């Protein structure tokens, strides 16, 4: 996994696990790799992955069955979607609109780009 320097590694790992849940690789109520297994997969310290799992558990995305491992929570996909939407609307949309304004990009061009992107995703 390639990490970005501008964000904590444990958060990037948590986001990646969330993406895998959204993509169906980890299904609701199913076990996910252990902390040690995942640390080996992404080649980071065990404690970093433990922090990621703690973050996901506190968010209600995964839960721990003591002695068995971590599992994807029921409703995790809906929760991830909700949290990401909230984050985007509170943090990223303002920067997006600021850049559109500063670069003087016409709204029609943005709409056309969005429609093209959306069509590409729908055709996959």
Helices (H), 23-104: 35-42, 46-58, 76-87, 93-102
Query: What is this structure's pTM?
Result: 0.78
According to the model, what pLDDT value does residue 15 have?
96
Which helix (H) or strand (E) element contains residue 64? strand 62-65
According to the model, what pLDDT value does residue 1 have?
77
- Tokens 């061009």 correspond to 109
Q: Which residues of the chain have pLDDT under 50?
A: none
Phi then psi for 114, rounded to 5 degrees? Answer: -65, -45
According to the model, what pLDDT value does residue 123 have?
85
According to the model, what pLDDT value does residue 115 have?
94
Distance CA 38, CA 28 (A): 18
Q: How many CB atoms lie within 10 A of CB 81?
A: 12
Of 16, 5, 64, the closest CA to residue 72 belongs to: 64
According to the model, what pLDDT value does residue 21 have?
97
């Amino acid at each position: 996994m390639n990490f970005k320097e501008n964000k904590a590694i444990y958060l990037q790992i948590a986001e990646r696990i969330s993406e895998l849940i959204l993509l169906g690789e980890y299904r609701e109520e199913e076990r996910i790799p252990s902390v040690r297994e995942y640390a080996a997969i992404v080649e980071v310290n065990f404690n970093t992955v433990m922090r990621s799992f703690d973050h996901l558990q506190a968010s209600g995305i995964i839960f721990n069955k003591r002695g068995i491992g971590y599992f994807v929570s029921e409703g995790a996909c809906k929760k991830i979607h909700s949290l990401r939407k909230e984050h985007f609307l509170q943090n990223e949309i303002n920067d997006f609109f600021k850049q559109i304004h500063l670069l003087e990009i016409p709204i029609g061009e943005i709409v056309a780009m969005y429609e093209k992107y959306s069509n590409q995703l729908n055709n996959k």
